[in-house]
Amino acid sequence: MKKNRKIALLAILIALSLILSYVDSLIVLPFGIPGIKLGIANIAIIYTLCKMGAKEAIIVSSLRLILSSILFGTIMTFAYSLVGAILSLALMIILKKFTHLSLMTISICGAVLHNLGQILVAIVVMATKEIAYYLPILIFTGTISGIGVGILSVLTLKYTKNIE
């Protein structure tokens, strides 16, 4: 891929992931449990990971994190998302590179680990072990959102197959 093309494509993907983050932050799911989100911003990350590679996915993910925290979040949300995003992206890159797992499974593992990371930060920051009680529900909802994101990622990749 030519350098100019690559820069342009990365910019588009970062913009896309930002918009998806914004939609994520707008949609509040009525479960009465903190931290449950759709996680559709991950579609852009998975797309980058599959289409371009691990390095590019890290670029998109970290810029998305910084920009979305500045635009729609607070310092606190940054700390929470940071750990979740690092863990989830690291696992997705490893799974993508070293296993033949389906994209769906990779997406599910990413979503679950993202929630796990956030809970860990919350336990440390608030010094309250009991926050771990939310884990089972967050793993469950993470699996469901991971399935949705997985399907959308596969479809997106399928319909943009011919675009180099």
Q: Applying CB under 8 A, which residues contact other proteins? A: 28, 30, 32-34, 74, 76, 80, 99-105, 108-109, 112, 122, 125-131, 133, 135-137, 139-140, 143, 154, 157-158
Task: Give start and end residues of each alpha helix (H) in the chain.
Answer: 3-26, 41-51, 54-72, 75-98, 103-126, 135-159
Q: Which is nearer to other proteins, 4 or 30 (CB)?
A: 30
C-alpha span between 136 and 100 (Å, rounded): 27
CB of 143 to other proteins, least distance (A): 6
Question: Is the Cβ–Cβ distance between 46 and 149 less than 8 Å?
Answer: yes
Of the candidates 148, 159, 117, the one whose C-alpha atom is nearest the C-alpha of residue 27 is: 148
CB of 152 to other proteins, least distance (A): 12
Q: Which is nearer to other proteins, 59 or 82 (CB)?
A: 82
CB of 22 to other proteins, least distance (A): 15
Q: Which is nearer to other proteins, 16 or 135 (CB)?
A: 135
CA distances from 8 to 2, 76, 129 (A): 10, 31, 45
Q: Which is nearer to other proteins, 39 or 80 (CB)?
A: 80
CB of 100 to other proteins, least distance (A): 7
Q: How many residues does the chain have?
A: 164
